[in-house]
A = this chain, B = another copy of it.
């Protein structure tokens, strides 16, 4: 069996208290004993049990991360960045993919509480507000990532999605596109906000928008494929498509190709997220970049701050998105 602090103490001929003190560098220990204990720990290949430590009221150094689907490239990059940031501060990540199912979200949340995670990052769209109110009430440090927090008491890190949508609108208008279709994620606040920003830019320019050109789809292959076909079959084909995510954009490009529709000659496409898909697409996908690493940095550090001081609540960070121009949008004469 794994050696315990008792084994170390016995072999070193000291008390467990002494061992504990050298482990944690607390109290005062003679250099002599310290070295002895260290040596014994080494010999026994002793590792203090985090479980026991956690039970004494300390932290678990574990953070739960709720995401919809890790195979979505944007989410994968988010997970990567969060984990990386967490690792640097000695935290470990429990990955919880809900696959967009409310039930799984509930189950995972309960599980995380049982496991006594120190904090929770929520990158799934908060649907059942009650559940999250519970987190606030119980003072469980948590932070909403890239989704609109349901309460102002929760921490949050997002980009300015409205601005992102606005940038898209501005850019497409500047390129002469007046008939633009949208494939948006209606079930994500970010999706709705992006549409909002887009509409705002049209409004300011005095351009009207045909509601029929707004299609809904999650950022999932099957759904997006259907949405893409819907756009391609619109009676009056739009000159440009604003896709809610790069994945959707890429799938659209794929469907278009199958139907012999050229991009950007026949229809321009602009995405969102600037994932690797955007870079590798043909033509390169013009898109809105999210500063993922920065977002992750703030997420972890704000959460940690909340963990240190459970009364720090409602801290928010909103970063700015940026347009990355590639070759998927062409200028049209209007």
Contacts and interface: CB of A to CB of B under 8 A. Distances in A.
Interface string A67-105: 001110100110110011001000011111101000010
Interface string A35-52: 000000000010111111
A61 to B, nearest CB: 8
Interface residues of A, number: 50
B97 A115 contact: no
A266 interface: no
A271 to B, nearest CB: 13
Nearest to A90: B111
Contact of A279 (B45, B92, B221): B221
B80 A104 contact: no
A50 B115 contact: yes
Given A97-B80, A276-B71, A114 B50 contact: yes
Main secondary structure on A side of the interface with B: helix
Contact of A79 (B48, B70, B250): B70
Point out which of A95, A116, A276 has the most chain B C-beta atoms below 10 A from its C-beta: A95
A99 to B, nearest CB: 8
A253 B116 CA distance: 47
Interface of A: 2, 45, 47-52, 54-55, 60, 62, 69-71, 73, 76-77, 79-80, 83-84, 87, 92-97, 99, 104, 110-111, 113-116, 134, 138, 221, 250-251, 253-254, 257, 276-277, 279-280, 282
18 contacts: A47-B114, A50-B114, A51-B51, A51-B54, A51-B115, A51-B116, A52-B55, A62-B115, A70-B76, A71-B73, A71-B76, A83-B95, A87-B104, A92-B115, A94-B95, A95-B95, A253-B280, A257-B282
